[in-house]
Every structure is written in structure tokens, then in C-alpha cells.
Structure 1
Amino acid sequence: METTILYRPVGPQELVLIEQSGWKRFPPRLPEQPIFYPVMNEAYAIQIARDWNVPASGSGFVTKFAVNTNYVSKFDIQNVGGEIHNELWVPAEELEEFNDNIVGVIEVTKEFR
């Protein structure tokens, strides 16, 4: 099976929920969060974790994970700013299926405080 590597910047509360899942799943979105948006590269994930998560919650983490390429290819890549600002927009109602297509575990690659 071919996999695609994605990244997700998270704050401390989301990280606890990921850990509670055995490092296998991202938690459901909150009602005001209609989209789950993993990012396509670590540099962009670092920007968000460091520049947004740290001021908002005191710490930020970059997670890295693999997803089945056949599954993830159904989502369009969205550019939301500069050259590196590429995300997948996964509707919140599809997050469980997305989680089912994660291959291996979610790992933390960077931590900011």
C-alpha cells in the first residue's frame, strides 16, 4: 500500500486525546470546526505550532503520520497563503473514515513552548 505523509500542528489538549487513542486517531472536531486540515509539509506545521498554538495554549506540537494514498487522493490540496501553505480539507463528518486510513501511528516530531 502506498502512503502519503501528512503533518498536523496541535495544541496540548488535542495531543492528550491523540495519546489516549494509542497514537492512532485524531479526535472529533468541535461544532465550530467543520474541517479537519492536515498540512502537506513540516515547515508549515512548524509555523502553525510555534506561531499560533504556543500563544493560544502555551505549547504547540507537530505531528507526523501516514495515510493510505488511494483514500487521501480524493481530497483536493488547498493553498491558503504562501508557497508552503498547503492543506487537505477533510469535512468533519469524514474524520472517522480518515482516521481508519491512517497507517501506523501518529508521532510527535517537534515541540514548542
Structure 2
Amino acid sequence: MQGDTIALYRPVGPNELARLRENAFKRWPPRLPEQPIFYPVTNERYAAEIAERWNVKDSGYGAVTRFEVDAQFMARYPIQKVGGAHHTEWWVPAEELEALNDRIVGVIEIVREFRAE
């Protein structure tokens, strides 16, 4: 792939992680009907907060994933600030997730994990 890439982060619970494994950590699974937006975040700190506070609370496990996407493709999505200064994310419509998947460079990697104590 030509051009620069940008790092995206996404907190996941065990169910989404299992679906990532099924896709060999190369593609995000389709969104559910009640999930019209795919929300990757811009930084590991924010992703870790979500994984630790919400995924662990809901399921006992949360992970932070990191993946590289073609920067020119991501430029079409404005970064949304949804809270504190580092609470920033992209809003990718579910119907555009396959296009994003096609522009992932490399694999989706787990960079942090959290478990209930």
C-alpha cells in the first residue's frame, strides 16, 4: 500500500476479540444492527480507559487493540471530541467499515489487556 498510515486504537471485550481471531486479526467484524457507527479512538490512553472501566465491568476482560490504516482514507472522517482532551475518536458509519477494513495495513494487534481482579 502506498502512502502514510495512522494508528487507530479500539477497546474490545471478549466477544469482539473472538471475532477478530476468526478474521486472523486482519478485519473488524460487521457491526450489529443496533450499532450504526464503528468508533476507533485516536490514542491508547482513551482506549485503555474504556477497556478497563467498561469492558472489564461488563465481561471481566478488556483489551486495547492497535491497527494502522491508510491516513488519506481516514482524513475523510473528522476527529470527534467526546469528553476530556484525550477523549477523541472517529465515527465511521457501519456501511463504510468494509472500506476501512480494506485499508488496514498489517494486522490488528493487542497492546494492553485488563482483567477483573
TM-score range, shorter chain: over 0.9
Instruction: Tell me the alpha carbon deviations over residues 81-107 of structure 1, each in whole angstroms, 9 at most, x when there is no partner.
Output: 000000000000100111001000000
- When the two structures are superposed, what TM-score results if normalisation uses the length of structure 1? 0.98
- Which one of 26, 31, 47 corresponds to residue 28 of structure 2? 26
Q: What code does the residue aligned with 2:72 have?
A: N
Aligned position for 1:35: 37
Q: What code does the residue aligned with 1:71 have?
A: F
- Which one of 67, 70, 91 corresponds to residue 68 of structure 1? 70
What pairs with 1:23-102 in structure 2 (closer than 5 Å)? Answer: 23-102=25-104
| Alignment length (residue pairs) | 113
Secondary structure of residue in 2 paired with 1:30: coil
How far apart, in 2, do the equivalents of 1:19 and 1:3 lie?
Answer: 23
Deviation at 1:57, TM superposition (A): 1.1
- When the two structures are superposed, what TM-score results if normalisation uses the length of structure 2? 0.95
CA RMSD of aligned residues (A): 0.5
How far apart, in 1, do the equivalents of 2:83 and 2:51 lie?
Answer: 16
Secondary structure of residue in 2 paired with 1:53: helix
Deviation at 1:58, TM superposition (A): 1.1
